[in-house]
Structure 1
Amino acid sequence: MPPVTSAAFETATPDPIVYLDRVAATDLGRSYKGRMLDELDLRPGQTALDLGCGPGTDLASLARAVTATGAVIGVDHDEATVDAARERTADQHAVTVRLGDIHELPLPDHTADRARTDRVLQHVADPARALREIHRVLRPGGRLVMGEPDWDTLAVDHPDSDLSRAYTRYVTDEVVRNARIGRQLPRLATAAGFAVPTVIPITPVFRDARAADRILGLERTTRRATAAGYLTEEGARRWLDHLSTGPFLATVTFYIVVAES
């Protein structure tokens, strides 16, 4: 039987840096990142941390907010993205980028006034430990702003709702390590010593299948779900055929959570 495929969707997994840049450049990316920046409430002279900073997408906006009198420290565990972030911010004198683990930050106690994580905690080995570390390095009265999806809320319309449920179940069970982290953040942050004054749910609606695929990787994920037994070959074909030709609608809830130390 030939492999599941649809000419409408990407088949190759994009380079991680390319993917992060792609998401940041979408209307959705600009919108939620702007909201996170607003919630950080940065002031000139403050020290801000971008934990899991990736290739430095957000470091310049943080640097502008704290001005030349402040400091921005990006931390990431991946050498390639750290190198990219350092190159991109070479002219930003307020910015420093460090290689480090969010579970054991290379920073002394009470270093920073503000911190952010953006789609990072869904992937880490121990979100509770990471939050305790962030609490350690923030000064009393500091603020952490986190943005995470809850993949259990992923809803993709299809005439066969069993296929939609199977697809979401595969994403939640197998693709994302901490797939329900969005809804868990207030509880985990409270346990780590934070107060959580604000939770902001954002639910984007995707109406264009190709645009959604560039963020969700619909075909790549479908192939993996089929190999893992969540979908049959025949079911996967019906799933992709409708997504690529029929009216398309998909949603997933993304949470912005504000925590105060």
Structure 2
Amino acid sequence: MLQFDEETARVLEDAYQGADVSQRRRASFDALAPLPGDRILDLGCGNGLLTLELARAVGPAGHVTGLDASPDMLAAARNRLAGRANTTLAEGDAARLPFEPESFTKAVSLQVFEYLNDRRPALSALHNVLQPGGRLVAGDMHWGTLAWHSDNTRRMERMLEAWNRHMAVRDLPAKLPAELRSCGFEMQRMHPVAVCDTALRPDGLAAMMIQLIRAFAVDIGATDPDDAAAWAQEQQELAAEGRFFLSLTHFVCTARRQ
């Protein structure tokens, strides 16, 4: 488990509300198309940013339930949602949802399924708690689309190979449609959301990834702190020289419960 210092926590909070991550969240919001009165499950709600946006959209006649496995994330979400009577937060596992059958009209997950070795138990659980015809929106990265410039390509490959170990599957969007169909969903749309940065913005996805990858690679013993620091420093130098480049595609999958 990574331990974040105050500076890293600040970078993450800025990035969560920055343009890159916000556009991914907005793409899921738009695909879900929340309406007044909807009852929505936010699976893997994290710090509650999407939960709050959905709660505003469904209004007092609707309800949004956020579920996450992390007590720390849920604590942050509770602070964010304080005073929102149309929200509920719960700690739990995606494969064992603690809700009655057909409890929700819609469900959304943002970067959850790529961390599951077997998605079918979670998809079956979602099928159970959604009403017939209910909409499911799942947003995940296809890490095979990552292009990241470095003058030291071997070191970059080493850092990214380490990062690959933090997820269960790198190409989830390619696998998800078939898995959805096998669990009783009708696949409707796959929408790409590309991030392409030629500047290292303080609130951008790249700045967040540099902090996370640097810490994770050291934490798992894939490299030493000096090597990881040199990798991060190179990205700062490339940015100062106008040679920074990162591109990565997030995919938003929309399906209907049959």
TM score, norm. by length of structure 2: 0.83
Counterpart secondary structure, 1:58: helix
Seen in structure 2, the aligned counterparts of structure 1 residues 18 and 141 have a Cα distance that, compared at 3 Å, is farther
Percentage identity across paired residues of the two chains: 26
Counterpart of 1:219 in structure 2 is: 214
Q: Structure 1 unaligned runs (5+)?
A: 1-11
Seen in structure 2, the aligned counterparts of structure 1 residues 186 and 57 have a Cα distance that, compared at 3 Å, is same
Residue 20 of structure 1 deviates from its aligned partner by 5.7
Q: What amino acid maps onto 1:64 in structure 2?
A: R
Counterpart of 1:6 in structure 2 is: none
Residue 125 of structure 1 deviates from its aligned partner by 4.6
**Are 1:228 and 2:241 counterparts?**
no
Counterpart of 1:251 in structure 2 is: 247
Matching residue within 33, 43, 46 for 2:35: 43
Q: Structure 2 unaligned runs (5+)?
A: none
Residue 87 of structure 1 deviates from its aligned partner by 3.3
Pairing 1:18-57 to 2, within 5 Å after superposition: 21-57=13-49
- Is the deviation greater in 193-202 or in 212-221? 212-221
Q: Equivalents in 1 of 2:208, 2:26: separation in Å? A: 21
Q: Equivalents in 2 of 1:101, 1:238: separation in Å? A: 38
2:150 and 2:156 in contact (8 A); partners too: yes
Seen in structure 2, the aligned counterparts of structure 1 residues 88 and 244 have a Cα distance that, compared at 3 Å, is closer
Q: Equivalents in 1 of 2:91, 2:216: separation in Å? A: 30
1:17 and 1:55 in contact (8 A); partners too: no
Q: What amino acid maps onto 1:47 in structure 2?
A: R
Q: Equivalents in 1 of 2:114, 2:12: separation in Å? A: 15
Q: What amino acid maps onto 2:79 in structure 1?
A: E
**Are 1:189 and 2:180 counterparts?**
yes
RMSD: 2.8
Residue 176 of structure 1 deviates from its aligned partner by 1.9
1:152 and 1:169 in contact (8 A); partners too: no
Q: Size of the alignment, in residue pairs?
A: 246
Counterpart secondary structure, 2:163: helix
Residue 19 of structure 1 deviates from its aligned partner by 6.4
Residue 100 of structure 1 deviates from its aligned partner by 1.5
Seen in structure 2, the aligned counterparts of structure 1 residues 143 and 43 have a Cα distance that, compared at 3 Å, is same
TM score, norm. by length of structure 1: 0.82
Counterpart secondary structure, 2:143: strand
Q: Equivalents in 2 of 1:20, 1:143: separation in Å? A: 30
